[in-house]
A and B are shown apart, each in its own frame.
Chain A
């Protein structure tokens, strides 16, 4: 259920030791462009539109980086942790894998393509959960099949309990019999 948003740009720059605000470049370039195209309103509109599209794409890229890194891939160093959550100091895999993921997304690869490339390089062990195809589907279905079967079975059991005839206790005036009932009532009501 975790959802995160590791900054894509900072992650790729981190290994170089450079600090940079990922979004600072965008307004500056837009501003220059606007000055350059001052009199050309049609082109200006086009540029603005492109800027909006690309700004959106940037957000989208970051969201995809987080979705894939937090929900779909694990670090293959043997820690069994989610890729963006592997924090082993000196882990020889996770940094490289994160950079590969960032590069693939920046290249414009689709999610499927990214995952496929990872599987090709590291094997199917890199996927955080079984796929929903082939034999792996069994992993997903079995617990729910068991749940449904269990519900049906439990329902049948309760129904069979209900349908059993009630044996009416014989009421006698003997105090022993009464005591027995009192004890039963006490046990069931805990009074």
Chain B
């Protein structure tokens, strides 16, 4: 099987090169021969995907058949590894994760090439660009990080096993999701660059890539949230986000991708910000490559230590090439991106998008800056420093609060200009509700003057309420208008409203999800943490909970040894179900992992970790956390996904009103004014 896999990868490289070179040559001229050549390049691209898929199957096959003659399988699998985790072997090491990258890129390319009739010439250009990226990854897989290298020396009877931290159901989904997001950003990039190279007229490429961008953004969001959730429920340090370089690497393209999703509407609706959008889509792609370089080059230390290797240089060179190519075509064809920007008022949807983009990009810069500053500092002062969570929190929280304010205000502003009267009409009630919520929180015990984190939490929650109120008012106003026109009840009017402009109202659900998640994040300002060595019958008090250590138990399976502490729990004297906190010793890898026990409620999580055995061997060190509102974070994520899915549904046909033309126009304008429709 390793020979088959290597051969498949070589075939994929050859097909990729063909697709790139012949595809590029065919685009130089437009005649029947070129068109036929271009078609062969397209088919080579499709065949290339099949070859990469065959290689991936070969690697998974080797894992399932415990073929330890393959060094990668030997290092990342073992005989007793449960079957579902043998799939995870594909991405548990560097070579495999690069293969997964190539596989997903191949899959995206496959869909793009199958759907080439959307716009044959534009797709042909995009296909060549995708082939270029694919060739880079296949060169890596064939010459720098080969997944099918044979093991040196005698073949051992068993492998080293999968990293125990990855032996968790969610971990089987998290990396593919994140990669779908990362890799997917290549598609809008390819279309953007293609449109620039061929001086594509109009904004059709934006329409074509809109769905691609939304889908990949959703995958990236899922990847990030799944990663956080996995960190929370598996790593056992009590939190979900540590500002680790790998986490930062995923957040940066997410931020620029979010900016692109917003600013692209400016180009669609008003034909503005063309240069900005092109560079945003370039930057998003380059940041995903930069992130990969960051975490694989060893330049930045990270807990994701598996990733460090000399292939970092390859990524840097590739990044350089991408930048030069983008810059060259931008300079060459920049006249194509000329637009006439015109605005009637400073307070308008356009300016809100502009500031939204600014905030997202500054936040992205702050993360990039923090990630690189240790290198800069070492170079400038020969002093090694750390840029850790306190820096990122202090810099990003104020930016996030401003962004939240814009999330509340922006959607209610009209395109071109917004009158003071409409501002007053739209914001009086939401602002009153938000102010009331702030007062209620202070009465409820939040003292913003005691600590800056309390102040931030208060502001975050109040601004979230403001966003919720504006979103709700938008839905209600629109539904009422439809209800009065059609006579339907409010609920069916809401459905009707969403059907009419799915992206707008799906987007509102996404905003709603974001604020629910923000409330969850704000809860972390009130986290409590306590650690105690406990033996039989000992009690620990944390928040409203009393923990009682009952006993410990051990288990032994071929894959792992487990130590479990049994903890009785009561809340304000009321008994709750017993909690079991475990530590696993994985035999093959000889690694340990602590799995926390979590009791989740809508208000707070009780999070307990078995942190170790006391030196006399009789008790356990129990680390307990009370983390308020964490479940809001996960609920928010689900709403974001739901909102994105709702936004992806195609709009229903434009409203047809059987009237004369002028009356129709007047009716449409009246409806638009009342419902505030105008994305």
| Chain A residues packing against B (C-beta within 8 Å) | 1-7, 10-11, 13-19, 66, 70-72, 74, 78-82, 84-87, 89-90, 123-130, 134-136, 139-140, 142-144, 146-147, 150-151, 154, 157-162, 164, 166, 178, 181-182, 185-191
Contact = CB atoms under 8 A, between A and B. Distances in A.
B501 A190 contact: yes
A87 B623 contact: yes
Contact of B301 (A13, A78, A144, A151): A78
B654 A191 contact: yes
B323 interface: no
Interface in B382-396: 383-391, 393-395
Nearest to A22: B532
A139 B380 CA distance: 12
15 contacts: A1-B457, A4-B238, A14-B532, A19-B532, A71-B390, A74-B386, A87-B235, A126-B386, A129-B386, A129-B394, A139-B373, A140-B391, A150-B362, A154-B351, A191-B654
A187 B672 CA distance: 12
Interface in B580-624: 583, 592-594, 609, 611-612, 614-619, 621, 623
Query: Which residue of A6, A14, A84 has the most chain B CB atoms within 10 A of its CB atom?
Result: A14
B236 interface: yes
Contacts of B491: none
B343 A146 contact: no
A83 to B, nearest CB: 10
Contact of A14 (B340, B350, B533): B533
Nearest to B532: A10
B244 interface: yes
B365 A158 contact: no
Contact of A72 (B344, B390, B530, B592): B390
Given A87-B594, A188-B415, A81 B242 contact: yes
Determine chain A's interface SS by DSSP, over half rule: helix
Interface in B325-369: 340-346, 350-351, 354-355, 358-359, 361-362, 365-366, 369
A7 B385 contact: no
B377 A6 contact: no
Contacts, number: 230
B266 to A, nearest CB: 11
Contacts of B529: 4-6, 66, 70, 84
Contacts of B387: 129-130, 139
Interface in B101-146: none
B381 A158 contact: no
Contact of B369 (A19, A127, A142): A142
A80 B303 contact: yes
B388 A190 contact: no
A178 B655 CA distance: 18
Given A81-B237, A143-B369, A162-B346, A19 B527 contact: no
A86 to B, nearest CB: 7
Given A140-B394, A189-B677, 12 more contacts: A4-B527, A10-B533, A14-B614, A17-B617, A81-B237, A81-B242, A82-B389, A130-B387, A130-B391, A143-B369, A157-B341, A161-B341
Contacts of A190: 500-501, 504, 651, 677-679
A13 B303 contact: no
B297 interface: no
Given A14-B533, A19-B532, A162-B343, A124 B384 contact: yes
Interface of B: 235-239, 242, 244-245, 268-270, 301-303, 340-346, 350-351, 354-355, 358-359, 361-362, 365-366, 369-370, 373, 377, 380-381, 383-391, 393-395, 397, 399, 415, 451, 453, 456-457, 500-501, 504, 521-522, 524-535, 538, 583, 592-594, 609, 611-612, 614-619, 621, 623, 625, 651, 654-655, 661, 665, 668-669, 671-672, 677-679
B6 to A, nearest CB: 35
Nearest to B678: A189
B299 to A, nearest CB: 13
A105 to B, nearest CB: 16
Contacts of A71: 390
B269 A185 contact: no
Query: Which residue of B237, B342, B532 has the most chain A CB atoms within 10 A of its CB atom?
Result: B532
Query: Which residue of A10, A84, A144 has the most chain B CB atoms within 10 A of its CB atom?
Result: A10
A135 B377 CA distance: 7
A1 B343 contact: no
Contacts of A78: 301
A87 B583 CA distance: 12
A134 B399 CA distance: 25
Nearest to A148: B362
Contact of B665 (A15, A129, A182): A182
A93 B645 CA distance: 46
A78 B529 CA distance: 23
Contacts of B377: 130, 135-136, 139
Contacts of A123: 384
B654 A186 contact: yes
Given A79-B303, A87-B623, A190-B504, A5 B661 contact: no
A1 B525 contact: yes
Contacts of B593: 89
Given A87-B237, A129-B390, A3 B527 contact: yes
B384 A3 contact: no
A124 B399 CA distance: 28
Contacts of B235: 87
A89 B394 CA distance: 30
A16 B671 contact: no
Given A1-B525, A143-B362, A124 B383 contact: yes
Nearest to A124: B385
A19 B620 CA distance: 10
A36 B285 CA distance: 76
B338 to A, nearest CB: 14
Given A1-B457, A185-B665, A89 B594 contact: yes
A157 B651 CA distance: 33
A71 to B, nearest CB: 6
Nearest to A164: B342
A126 B383 CA distance: 12
A17 B237 contact: no
B584 to A, nearest CB: 10
Contacts of B614: 14, 17-19
What are the nearest 9 A-B pairs in CB distance? A4-B529, A17-B614, A17-B615, A161-B343, A143-B366, A128-B388, A129-B390, A189-B672, A17-B616
Contacts of B343: 158, 161-162, 164
Nearest to A131: B385
A135 B524 contact: no
A89 B612 contact: yes
A130 B373 contact: yes
Contact of A19 (B341, B362, B456, B534): B534
